[in-house]
Structure 1
Amino acid sequence: MGSADFILMINLLVAGLLAAAFVAIAVHDVGRVSARWLAFGYLLGMAYFAIEFSIPAFADARLPVVMAFAVFLGATIAFNGGVAHKYGVTPPWAPMLVFLAVASAAVYLVQDLPRYSLTRMLAYQLPYAAMQCTALGIVLSSRQRLERLDHLLMLVLAASALQFASKPFIAGALGGWGANPQSYVQTGYALVSQSLGTVFGLALALLALAILVRDVLAEAMSKSETDTLSRLLNRGGFERHAELALRDAVRRGVPVALVIADLDHFKRINDSYGHACGDRVIETFAGLLREAAAEHHVAGRIGGEEFAIILPGTNLTAARLFAEGARSAFGELPIEGLPAEHRCSASFGVAELAVAEDFSDLLRRADEALYAAKNAGRDCVRVSLGTARRQFPAAVSGRG
């Protein structure tokens, strides 16, 4: 067994292991279509390496060569499908499949050209480069927020496309790719080509795997931090994200405020109209918060009928206006299951982060303001004026 044969065998085994890894993710999360397509792509990769390994056994290698080309190009198309599903882009199946048919026919036809013809070599390698560029275009066209791993994937895709496009010239520099297909695996070019394929194939697979695992872990954390009824952050999730938002606001030198809300007479609603109706009150108020919150705000349900929202870039006056708007809007909303004339209300406490305060200090002051609002008759907003002054004047807003 020559060096190129050994690399082919390694590639076959590696493709199998990577396919198994993507299958494991697909089984763990049946809704992750991207993992299924990536697994299929690496299964096709196994088939390609098996065909390449068997070519020396054929007297006429024309059909096996074309088959190997088509299978490997199909593997890159399946990979692109997985990438498209991951990044929320519609996979361009029709153009890619037409390209597969046309490129395979071209490779079949150029078998009549001299073995060392540059046209013949380009016809074999450029379609692979085109599919890597397609994958790069898919990631670039995504509307998802791209992180470091995603940018690294794009960089490796561009480098992989470049190495495919350069292979005909590498073959020329190394003395060609064999006098016939059967002798390909004995050439120095075969060793270099298969080694490059191993490096880039493995890099792309590991990056795709890392990105999928990152997404799975992020979704698992998101589910663990989400309150199922309100679909807002639960207390633990809110505190974690709120502290991050506070640190970021302090770093950027912008104000940050906290609004806490408590639904008025919630126990009375449960006792009078049932817990299902109480759940709809919570869902309604949570929906109002979600609609009112900006993307950089952090909202959560931190208790049974208690809610909180962190407002980075917002001072005390603007936060009070936000609370007033939420209070007024909630009081106007009809809620299914309650009498038509019944309207719910909420009390609000507002505080702005002061110098040298941390999240627990801010939370405590907002909570004090909330209790002042409840003591003032509920359905109103009270603010904490800072660590030095703890007045909560009724004149700032609301009823009472």
Structure 2
Amino acid sequence: MTGQLFISLLNPGIDLLFAAAFVWMWRERRERYIAYAAAAYFCSAVAFLIQDVAPALPMELQRIPANLGFLLTGVFFAAAIIKRYALPVPWRAMAITGAISMACFLWFLLGHPSISARIYAISIGAGLIASMVVRALWPVAKPFLIDKLIFWVAGLSAVNLIVRPVVLLSLRGGFDSYVGFQQSLYWTTVQFSQAMVSIVAAICLTVAVAIDMVRQLRVEANADDLSGLLNRRGFEANATTALRRAADGDNSIALLIADLDHFKDVNDRHGHAAGDTIIAAFGAHVRQLGPADMVAGRIGGEEFAILLPGASIEVARQLAEIIRIGFPTSCAEHIPPSLVPTTSIGITAGRANEGLSELLRQADQALYEAKRAGRNRVRAFSPMPVRLAAGGG
């Protein structure tokens, strides 16, 4: 294998390996942004093969699919990064930019031939597409190092694509033929810099996929599939974090514990399917009514806990009453008409530094009072009065 052939096969070989890797990752996760990444690397591999390895066509027509492949690489790679952050992909803007870029390319290929002008047309078009990633991610929070790296890789790609041809072609002064172009410093720089960018970008996206997978596994491990809320472990972990945050700000905290009334009788008389339906309906009811910053979980078979950062006892009481009153209606369409489920709720409020176990104990005591008073009601925790010893002053 000659040195020139090795260089020609370097980029398509790397790109095909990464395309296969992202296809495998997509089969595991089925996330659209991973499929876009696979498409980007596949388009890049095909473009480089057509550009450097495929036989020449009359009028250099093989350059059309090759450079279209380079533009599609930029489009799919931009879509992969933007979609990873659940942002709207600017398909229309990218399509318009790509169409203008290809129109200029065709003019300087067929109408007024100029290799340098064609390089400008494709590189600047791809650079503008890369800059759309920078624009999309600019206001997005970047909590992890990998998020910052992805942002900077996109920014450097945009600068590289726009500035590189201007600098190198101004120093070189253009090309008279494709033989000179393919043996030029410019094309050698393109091939090696593109290989480096492909590797760095693929590593960044691979790490991002791994982080997303770990995050998803953590969510699944802490989730209760039936209610759609957290399970007990997830609730305790998230509630502890929320308490620590509230304690740092010296904020109040409120806690609700809800228990579905006579739930064993529901399962015995109407079957476990009806009981599961009620649990699912209660979870959906809580998710719909609760504030965005609440921590809600199913901490027992028919017992639920809701932590409200920054809430007072009155705010907790209002939410508890809304949940209690609306609960029968929330699941009426999915259970027998004769079945009217109710819930008892105990609430407490205090300072976050009291700790989760103490808040749970207080809310559980209030829940016991609600059940003892006849169920289907809300009770707030009240400390037992201190009794003075007989004969005291």
TM-score, normalised relative to structure 1? 0.82
Distance of 1:321 and 1:212 partners within structure 2: 42
Aligned to 1:320: 317
Q: Which residue pairs with 1:108 in the alignment? A: 106
Residue 375 of structure 1 corresponds to 372
Aligned equivalent of 2:15:
15
1:284-323 equivalences in 2 (<5 Å): 284-323=281-320
Deviates more, 1:149-158 or 1:226-235: 149-158
Q: Could you tell me which residue of structure 2 aligns to residue 269 of structure 1?
A: 266
Partner of 1:162: 159
* Closer/same/farther in 2, CA of residues 355 and 303 from structure 1, 3 Å limit: closer
> What is the TM-score normalised by the length of structure 2?
0.84
CA offsets per residue over residues 128-150 of structure 1, 9 Å max, x none?
11221234455569xx8764444
Cα deviation for residue 22 of structure 1 reads 0.8
Deviation at 1:96, TM superposition (A): 4.3
Q: Does structure 2 conserve the Cα–Cα contact (< 8 Å) formed by 1:296 and 1:312? A: yes
Which residue of structure 1 lines up, in the alignment, with residue 48 of structure 2?
A: 49
**Alignment partner for residue 365 of structure 1, among 362, 365, 368?**
362
Match of 1:216 among 213, 218, 237: 213
Query: C-alpha distance in 2, partners of 1:337/1:173?
Result: 73
State which of 315, 324, 327 in structure 2 corresponds to 1:330. Answer: 327
| CA shift in 2, pair 1:177/1:235, >3 Å | farther
Which is worse superposed, 371-380 or 238-247?
A: 371-380
Question: Quick check: 1:334–1:340 contact (8 Å CA) kept in 2?
Answer: no
Amino acid paired to 2:127: A
Contact residue 4 and residue 190 of structure 1 kept, 8 A: no
Separation in 2, partners of 1:171, 1:4: 21
* Cα distance, 1:308 vs structure 2: 0.6
Once residues 113 and 338 of structure 1 are traced to their aligned partners in structure 2, the CA distance between those partners, rounded to angstroms, is 74
How do 1:60-139 and structure 2 match up within 5 A? 62-83=60-81, 85-88=83-86, 91=89, 93=91, 96-97=94-95, 99-111=97-109, 112-113=112-113, 115=115, 117=116, 119-137=117-135, 139=137
Instruction: Measure the CA separation in 2 of the matches of 1:168 and 1:78.
Output: 22
Distance, in Å, in 1 between the alignment partners of 2:226 and 2:17 is 41
User: What do residues 283-324 of structure 1 show as CA deviations (whole Å, max 9, x unaligned)?
Assistant: 222222111111111111111100011101112332233223
Q: Distance in 2 between matches of 1:207 and 1:311?
A: 37
Relative to structure 1, the CA distance from residue 145 to residue 166 in structure 2 (aligned partners, 3 Å threshold; closer, same or farther) is closer
For residue 19 of structure 2, what is the amino acid of its counterpart? A
CA distance in 1, matches of 2:384, 2:193: 69
Against the structure 1 CA distance between its residues 367 and 344, is the aligned structure 2 distance closer, same or farther, given a 3 Å change threshold?
A: same
Across the aligned residues of Structure 1 and Structure 2, the Cα RMSD in angstroms comes to 3.2
From 243, 247, 272, the counterpart of 2:244: 247
Aligned partner of 1:230 in structure 2 is: 227
| CA displacement 1:156-181 (0-9 Å, x = unmatched) | 32321121111222213542565422
Q: Which moved more, 1:239-248 or 1:205-214?
A: 205-214
Any gaps of 5 or more consecutive residues in structure 2?
386-393
Instruction: Please tell me whether the aligned partners of residues 177 and 189 of structure 1 are also in contact (alpha carbons under 8 angstroms).
Output: no
Task: Measure the CA separation in 2 of the matches of 1:247 and 1:274.
Answer: 41
Taking the aligned partners of 2:256 and 2:7, their CA distance within structure 1 comes to 62
Percent pairwise identity: 31
- Go from structure 1 to structure 2 and tell me whether the alpha carbon gap of 1:330 and 1:54 turns closer, same or farther (over 3 Å shift): closer
User: CA, structure 1 residues 355+267, in 2 after alignment: closer, same or farther (shift >3 Å)?
Assistant: closer
- Between 1:225-234 and 1:347-356, the stretch displaced more is 347-356
Partner Cα separation in structure 2 for residue 61 and residue 191 of structure 1:
24
Change (3 A) 1:305 1:354: same
* Structure 1 contact 40–75 (Cα < 8 Å) conserved: yes
CA shift for structure 1 position 23:
0.6
Query: What is the CA–CA distance in structure 2 between the aligned matches of 1:274 and 1:63, rounded to whole Å?
Result: 71
- For structure 1, which segment, 264-273 or 371-380, has the greater mean C-alpha deviation from structure 2 after superposition? 371-380
Q: CA deviation at 1:276?
A: 2.0
Work out which of the residue numbers 188, 191, 194 in structure 1 matches 2:191: 194
Distance in structure 1 (CA, Å) of the matches to 2:331 and 2:88: 40
Q: Does 1:25 align with 2:30?
A: no
